[in-house]
């Protein structure tokens, strides 16, 4: 007989708030780009308020010009440096257009451009800082000190950086292991989820490999150092993330990809419109006015707004539904995704063991409910995740647990306790089912059947005789199969499962979620190789993960998406987008929303280009009055801006969630 048991994990606690001034001292507010952007925005807002309030023109002009100085000096300086290297970029073009706008009285337009570019630069600086900080945080996983045995067998505390190959270190219960190496003595269970992504601690004994930064369980281990500090798995993960971030091509918005040619053409045309008529005898004011009119009507204000509002509106809408998309570039990348790859533990699953079945063995007179009561009472004093899962299952069924006596836990083997007149032993089949034990054959066959199905099996003995086999597994997230199905409808290429877990557990999870392409037993560098292989096949891969071991692959992928509730700090920073409430259903929805935003960008670019073409032709071939040119330019800006902001409506997310293509029903 089989009993299905489920429990729901406790909610994760919220982090304590930091000091209110810490943001300015060491956070994003400490960056000069952020401070100048805030100053420029504040001056721009103050100028607008003064103008609307009817203040003297010199006051709001002064505020707007101060906004120019605060937000424009840095992009202007960068543009001049680029010009010195014979490159004309859009930053210098924007500053020139802003100055030109002020020269003919349109100071508001120029200040708006300055604020847009200053804010964009600040956001880029913040993203760079957070990634660098998270890489440094990852190094804290490996402890700074370790307990080393000298040749005489005495213990000494040393820096982990001073450990040499062949040194033997002592790792006590609850400590982080200080170096990659091999166990030479002791038995324990080690939580190595930060490296391999495995949801359950792994039993370690003499001859087994361990990794720096992983957490020792209840036993004491002696480990012979096998790698210097700079070559541990944790150090290699840091190096891979930094390398991927440095070598990954800088993604650009569509308009930025043509900025060089557009900038050169616009500047050349403006100079020509000023110089040629002047040389042909036209007066200075007329030549300057025509050139400035051309610069205003040809300036890419409408083009910038054609691109940004749909993407920013989509970002805001996603944010209201607890999906953080870090930039407009990322939103464009999400629209380009052609294949999705998933991590397993903590992404498709909840990341913790769950008691799924109790199999009573022949000859056992107790019911499964009674077996669960005894097992949970024996495990009540255990700190092992499997023991906590058994106890949680009993509490979930409302069972009253009797008091256990004589509780002992043997690392790597299991627990034993006296409960209600029975000696209860629960632990590894290898240690509790020797070949000569009564009923060992039947019990081992059942253990093999459960393990082949992707479960972790533990044996329960009553008074020295096998009584039951308990099956535990990491539970699939609610909605994961539906999210995978929606992605299959949205993206033609089948989803891929990339996991460090064992092939049997991976196959079981894949069968439950509808994934057919499974790649198991992957260490971090192998996940990176798998993502690169998919890229070489022409796919634009969105990788979804949560663990430190996923960070290099997230940084390598076309788009990295992190699960925010369970995600490690480095993972959240290496990712391009974060699902803060850990609902996988948000993945196909945000991709559909990004595709709709891209369609609006294309429509807006067509509108902006049409206005620019008409106004420029009028100015070149006829006599375009400056006020009419400004009105046409501003009108196109308003039209594309309002069109892009349509994605702010609440219906935009629901439409994307209800229709995999993101199109209107």
**Which residues are marked as active site?**
343
CA distance 11 to 114: 44
Which of 338, 343, 347 is closest to 541 using CA atoms? 338
Q: Are strands 404-410 and 188-191 parallel, antiparallel or unpaired?
A: unpaired
CA distance 133 to 126: 11
CA distance 536 to 530: 10
Strand partners, 7: none
Phi-psi region of 142 (alpha: psi -120 to 50; beta: other; left: phi over 0): beta
CA distance 550 to 348: 13
Which of 145, 651, 563, 554 is closest to 350 using CA atoms? 563
Output the six-digit token pair for 544.
């979804």
CA distance 113 to 410: 68
CA distance 472 to 388: 11
What is residue 143's DSSP assignment?
Answer: -
Strand partners, 471: 357, 457
Query: What is the three-class DSSP state of 282?
Result: coil
Beta-carbon contacts of residue 386 (< 8 Å; ≥ 6 apart): 200, 353, 379, 456, 458, 472
CA distance 344 to 549: 12
Output the six-digit token pair for 193.
């989820």
Output the six-digit token pair for 412.
């790597």
Alpha helices in 209-280 (DSSP H): 233-247, 259-279
Which of 538, 534, 549, 463 is closest to 501 using CA atoms? 549
Half-sphere exposure of 447 (CA within 13 A, CB side): 21
314 within 8 A of 565, measured Cβ to Cβ? no
Q: Report the Cα 618 to chain-centroid distance in Å.
A: 49
Which of 300, 342, 260, 334 is closest to 113 using CA atoms? 300
Map 331-368 to HEC letters.
HHHHHCCCEEEECHHHHHEEEEEEEEEEEECCCCCCCH
Report CA-CA distances (Å) from 103 to 65, 69, 90, 279.
11, 15, 19, 22
Beta-carbon contacts of residue 624 (< 8 Å; ≥ 6 apart): 293, 297, 615, 618
């Amino acid at each position: 007989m089989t009993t299905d048991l489920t429990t729901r994990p406790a909610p994760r606690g919220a982090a304590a708030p930091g000091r209110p001034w810490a943001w300015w001292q060491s956070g994003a507010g400490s960056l000069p780009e952020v401070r100048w952007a805030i100053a420029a925005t504040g001056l721009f807002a103050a100028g607008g308020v003064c103008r609307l309030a009817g203040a003297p023109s010199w006051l709001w002009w002064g505020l707007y010009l101060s906004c120019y100085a605060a937000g424009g000096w840095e992009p202007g300086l960068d543009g001049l440096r680029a010009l010195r290297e014979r490159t004309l970029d859009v930053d210098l073009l924007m500053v020139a257009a802003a100055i030109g706008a002020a020269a003919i009285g349109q100071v508001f337009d120029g200040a708006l451009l300055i604020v847009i570019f200053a804010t964009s630069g600040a956001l880029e600086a913040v993203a760079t800082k957070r990634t660098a900080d998270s890489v440094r945080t990852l190094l804290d996983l490996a402890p700074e000190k370790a307990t080393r045995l000298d040749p005489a067998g005495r213990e000494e505390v040393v820096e982990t950086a001073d450990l040499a190959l062949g040194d033997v270190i002592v790792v006590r219960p609850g400590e982080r292991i200080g170096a990659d190496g091999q166990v030479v003595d002791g038995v324990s269970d080690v939580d190595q989820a930060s490296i391999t992504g495995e949801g359950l601690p792994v039993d370690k004994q003499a001859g087994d490999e361990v990794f720096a930064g992983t957490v020792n369980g209840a036993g004491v281990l002696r480990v012979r150092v096998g790698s210097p500090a700079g070559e541990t798995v944790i150090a290699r993960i840091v190096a891979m993330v930094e390398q991927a971030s440095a070598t990954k091509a800088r993604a650009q918005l569509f308009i930025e990809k043509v900025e060089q040619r557009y900038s050169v053409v616009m500047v050349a045309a403006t100079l020509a419109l000023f110089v040629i008529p002047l040389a042909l005898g036209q007066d200075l004011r007329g030549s300057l006015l025509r050139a400035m009119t051309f610069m205003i009507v040809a300036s890419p204000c409408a083009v910038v707004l054609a691109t940004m509002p749909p993407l920013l509106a989509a970002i805001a809408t996603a944010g209201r539904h607890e999906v953080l998309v870090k930039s407009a570039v990322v939103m464009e990348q999400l629209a380009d995704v052609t294949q999705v790859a998933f991590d397993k533990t903590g992404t498709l699953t909840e990341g913790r063991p769950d008691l799924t079945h109790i199999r009573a063995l022949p000859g056992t007179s107790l019911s499964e409910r009674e077996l669960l009561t005894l097992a949970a009472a024996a495990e009540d004093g255990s700190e092992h995740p499997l023991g906590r899962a058994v106890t949680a299952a009993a509490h979930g069924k409302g069972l009253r647990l009797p008091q256990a006596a004589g509780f002992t836990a043997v690392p790597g083997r299991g627990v034993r306790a006296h409960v209600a007149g029975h000696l209860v032993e629960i632990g590894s089949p290898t240690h509790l089912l020797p070949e000569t034990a009564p009923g060992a054959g039947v019990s081992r066959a059942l253990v093999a059947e459960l393990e082949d199905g992707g479960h972790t099996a533990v044996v329960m003995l009553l008074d020295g005789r096998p009584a039951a086999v308990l099956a535990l597994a990491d539970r699939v997230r609610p909605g994961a199969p539906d999210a995978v199905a929606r992605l299959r409808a949205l993206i033609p290429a089948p989803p891929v499962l990339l996991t460090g877990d064992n092939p049997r557990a991976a196959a079981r999870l894949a069968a439950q979620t509808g994934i057919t392409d499974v790649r198991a037993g992957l260490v971090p560098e192998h996940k990176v190789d798998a993502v690169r292989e998919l890229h070489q096949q022409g796919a634009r891969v969105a990788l979804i993960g949560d663990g430190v071991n996923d960070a290099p692959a997230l940084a390598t992928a076309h788009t990295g998406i992190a699960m925010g509730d369970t995600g490690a700090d480095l993972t959240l920073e290496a990712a391009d987008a974060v699902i803060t409430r850990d609902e996988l259903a948000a993945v196909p929805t945000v991709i559909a929303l990004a595709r709709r935003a891209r369609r609006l960008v294309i429509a807006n670019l067509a509108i902006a280009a049409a206005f620019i073409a008409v106004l420029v032709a009028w100015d070149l071939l006829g006599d375009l009055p400056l006020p009419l040119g400004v009105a046409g330019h501003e009108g196109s800006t308003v039209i594309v801006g309002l069109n892009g902001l349509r994605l702010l409506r609440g219906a935009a997310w629901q439409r994307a969630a209800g229709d995999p293509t993101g199109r209107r029903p």
